[in-house]
């Protein structure tokens, strides 16, 4: 029998596999439209059989999604109990769904209730570090799961979840395509029908004798425009905005030393102020050279106020944890006369921090950093620039709050009004004299750092920071 080229590909595949879900035929490189067409053709030629399978799928309800984000009631209640809250009344005051949590913990035999007060059973403690089976499954249900993907014990939990309104059941249909007996025995050739006009066909006039294949109008597969990543598209706008305000862009290094990342910025070697955020250390014994003259001067500033300075720590190689390290290097360029003042400088680049990964935190993200060096700058002009920058977020209103950063004084945190609430968008200040003195800079240096990722998330309507590095091609195509 004669078939089209695509039909032959599918038939050959089914000869190997015997059967396959229709949607899986995509791995053969066929578009959805092509797959539909091929299936209909093969069916009409009795070469294949189609079987429609009913299947159950489970997905999280709104409540389930909330639990996924905030934790199941039994988890929240268990944590509260271990933090010392054992009275049912006060648990309910602290957490509105406490009762649900208590019931489930009791059913699990992890707690007992004695006169309105909760006592913990043996074995409950291990769940402080260990996940409940329910939590593992909840995590799995982040994407829709079909019944066949579930183990027996998981099916029992899903049943429970259905009762609790955590999951929703959806009945779906899947189609399985099988090669028929006839399909197996019949010898197959790629047919002569004209599916596409070619110059040859036109020249020889073959179209006059052969059949031209008909197309269904719905056959077209979807196509998308190639494009820049939505993240970079927004960053480009930000960059243009800053350039229009007269800022020059600088680059630094992601492989840094503690010296430029922390010590130049007056972050003390042995003090809680060092821990304003954590730092990734590179596994190496090598050292990067730093300018000895500057090193000495910075060390002096530390000894004067912090009494101690850890040279070994200072020379350790790390991943840049904030772009103020770039500003520090720009101060150095100014001291060497390689960059002239007055100066307005900015940087948008990657920083790294060993944070716990969740919807709001990732270990790599970008920061927008800027400094302005000039004679007549003041705290009021810093606030002026910050007000201007907040426009990037589309915010009409800005609020300032005192803050602490080891390298600026005065320091300020910036809040932008988005909708009805204020969100923190960054920090700023005037560099301390202890920071600028080693570089011989005697005029004020205004400095600010803004979480650019948050800006992009707002503009692109992305809820999870990890989606800024999305691994889903369709998500990127649609952004």
Partner 1 sequence: MPTVEFELKKLEERSKVDKERIIEIIENSKIEIEEIENEKIKLTIPPDRFDLMFLNGLANFISTFEYGEGMKKIYIDISDVKVFSESVSARKYFACFVVENVKMNEEVLREIISFQELLHHSVGRDREYVAIGIHDLDKIKGKITYKEAGRKERFIPLSYHNEMSLEEVLEISDKGRKYGKLILNFEKFPVICDEEGIISFPPILNSERTRLTEKTKRIFVDITGTKQKAVDDTLRLLMYFFSFYGNVKKVYLNNKEFPEIEEKRFLLELSKINKLIGKEFSLSEVKMYLEKMGYDVIAMNDKIEVIVPFYRLDVFNERDVIEDLAIAFGYNNFVPKISKTYSKGRISRRERIEKKIREILVGLGFLEIISPTFVNKKLMEKCLILEEWTKVKNPVSEEYTVLRKNLFPSIMNFLKNNIDKQYPQKIFEIGYAVEGLRERRKIAFAIASSETNLSELISYIKAFFKELKIEIKLEKKEIPFLIKGRSGIIKVENEKVGYFGEVHPQVLENFGIFVPVCYCEIEDKIYSKI
Restricted to residues 204-233, the positions that interact with partner 1 (CB under 8 A) are: 221-222, 224, 226-229, 231-232
Q: Which stretch binds partner 1 (CB under 8 A): 21-29, 168-176, 186-194, 327-335?
A: 21-29
Q: Which stretch binds partner 1 (CB under 8 A): 62-70, 154-162, 179-187, 369-377?
A: 369-377
Reported as half-sphere exposure (CB side, CA atoms, 13 A), residue 122 has a value of 0
Binding of partner 1 by 85 (CB under 8 A) = no
Query: What is the sign, positive or negative, of the torsion defined by CA atoms of 37, 43, 45, 49?
Result: positive
Segment 303 to 322, residues that bind partner 1, using CB under 8 A: 305-308, 317, 319
List 46, 195, 198, 284, residue binding partner 1 (CB under 8 A) = 284
Host H or E run for residue 220: none
Cβ closer to partner 1: 50 or 282?
Answer: 282
List 84, 116, 205, 402, residue binding partner 1 (CB under 8 A) = 402
List 88, 276, 290, 333, residue binding partner 1 (CB under 8 A) = 276
Segment 95 to 154, residues that bind partner 1, using CB under 8 A: none
List 36, 162, 178, 400, residue binding partner 1 (CB under 8 A) = 400
Binding of partner 1 by 16 (CB under 8 A) = no
Segment 44 to 83, residues that bind partner 1, using CB under 8 A: none
Binding of partner 1 by 350 (CB under 8 A) = yes
The token pair at 377 is: 């700058």
CA distance 161 to 131: 16
CA distance 96 to 84: 18
List 40, 142, 401, 464, residue binding partner 1 (CB under 8 A) = 401
CA distance 346 to 449: 10
Binding of partner 1 by 354 (CB under 8 A) = yes
Segment 319 to 338, residues that bind partner 1, using CB under 8 A: 319
CB of 327 to partner 1, least distance (A): 14
CA distance 447 to 384: 12
Binding of partner 1 by 247 (CB under 8 A) = yes
List 85, 100, 120, 273, residue binding partner 1 (CB under 8 A) = 273
Binding of partner 1 by 162 (CB under 8 A) = no
CB of 4 to partner 1, least distance (A): 15
Q: Could you tell me if 183 and 48 are in contact, meaning their C-beta atoms sit under 8 angstroms apart? A: yes
Binding of partner 1 by 190 (CB under 8 A) = no
CA distance 92 to 97: 7
Binding of partner 1 by 472 (CB under 8 A) = yes
CA distance 470 to 433: 42
Binding of partner 1 by 434 (CB under 8 A) = yes
Cβ closer to partner 1: 141 or 372?
Answer: 372
- The residues, any chain, with a CB within 8 Å of residue 411's CB and separated by 6 or more, are 402, 403, 404, 405, 427, 428, 429
Q: Which stretch binds partner 1 (CB under 8 A): 188-196, 292-300, 327-335, 398-406?
A: 398-406
CB-based contacts of 431-435 (< 8 A; 24+ apart in sequence): 431/331, 431/371, 431/407, 432/266, 432/406, 432/407, 432/408, 434/266, 434/301, 434/304, 434/305, 435/264, 435/265, 435/266, 435/328, 435/331, 435/407
Task: Give the pairing type, strands 167-179 and 48-60.
Answer: antiparallel
CB of 204 to partner 1, least distance (A): 26
List 236, 293, 300, 358, residue binding partner 1 (CB under 8 A) = 236
Cβ closer to partner 1: 104 or 231?
Answer: 231
Binding of partner 1 by 195 (CB under 8 A) = no
CA distance 413 to 406: 13
- The residues, any chain, with a CB within 8 Å of residue 311's CB and separated by 6 or more, are 299
The token pair at 362 is: 């990732």
Segment 24 to 43, residues that bind partner 1, using CB under 8 A: 24, 26-29, 31-32
CB of 50 to partner 1, least distance (A): 20
């Amino acid at each position: 029998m004669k078939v089209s080229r695509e039909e032959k590909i599918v038939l050959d595949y089914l000869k190997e596999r015997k059967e396959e879900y229709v949607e899986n035929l995509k791995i053969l490189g066929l578009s959805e439209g092509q797959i539909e067409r091929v299936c209909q053709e093969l069916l009409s030629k009795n070469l294949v059989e189609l079987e429609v399978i009913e299947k159950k799928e489970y997905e999280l309800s709104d409540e389930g999604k909330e639990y996924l984000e905030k934790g199941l009631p039994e988890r929240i209640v268990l944590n509260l109990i271990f933090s010392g809250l054992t009275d049912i009344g006060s648990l309910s005051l602290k957490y509105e769904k406490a009762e649900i949590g208590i019931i489930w913990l009791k059913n699990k035999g992890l707690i007992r209730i004695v006169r309105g007060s909760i006592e913990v059973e043996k074995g409950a403690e291990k769940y402080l570090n260990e996940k409940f089976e329910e939590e593992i499954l909840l995590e799995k249900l982040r994407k829709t799961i079909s019944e066949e993907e579930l183990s027996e014990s998981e099916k029992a939990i899903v049943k429970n979840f259905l009762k609790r309104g955590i999951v929703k059941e959806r009945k779906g249909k899947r189609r399985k395509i099988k090669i028929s007996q006839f399909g197996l025995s019949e010898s197959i050739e790629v047919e002569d029908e004209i599916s596409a006009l070619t110059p040859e066909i036109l020249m020889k006039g073959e179209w006059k004798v052969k059949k031209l294949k008909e197309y269904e109008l719905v056959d077209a597969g979807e196509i998308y425009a190639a494009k820049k990543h939505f993240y970079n598209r927004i960053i480009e706008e930000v960059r243009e905005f800053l350039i229009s305000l007269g800022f020059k862009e600088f680059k630094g290094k992601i492989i840094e030393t503690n010296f430029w990342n922390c010590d130049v910025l007056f972050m003390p070697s042995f003090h809680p102020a060092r821990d304003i955020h954590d730092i990734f250390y590179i596994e190496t014994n090598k050292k990067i050279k730093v300018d000895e003259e500057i090193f000495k001067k910075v060390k002096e500033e530390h000894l004067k106020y912090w009494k101690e300075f850890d040279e070994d720590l200072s020379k350790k190689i790390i991943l840049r944890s904030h772009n103020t390290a770039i500003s520090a290097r720009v101060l150095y360029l100014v001291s060497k006369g390689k960059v002239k003042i007055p100066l307005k400088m900015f940087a948008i680049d990657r920083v790294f921090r060993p944070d716990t990964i969740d919807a709001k935190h990732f270990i790599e993200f970008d920061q927008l950093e800027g400094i302005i060096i000039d004679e007549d700058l003041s705290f009021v002009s810093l606030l002026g620039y910050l007000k201007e920058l907040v426009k990037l977020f589309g915010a009409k209103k800005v609020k300032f709050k005192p803050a602490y950063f080891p390298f600026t004084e005065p320091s300020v945190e910036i809040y932008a009004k988005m909708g009805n609430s204020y969100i923190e968008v960054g920090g700023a200040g005037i560099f301390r004299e202890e920071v600028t003195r080693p570089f011989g800079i005697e005029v004020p240096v205004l400095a600010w750092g803004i979480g650019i990722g948050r800006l992009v998330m707002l503009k692109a309507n992305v809820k999870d920071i990890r989606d800024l590095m999305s691994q889903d091609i369709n998500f990127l195509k649609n952004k």
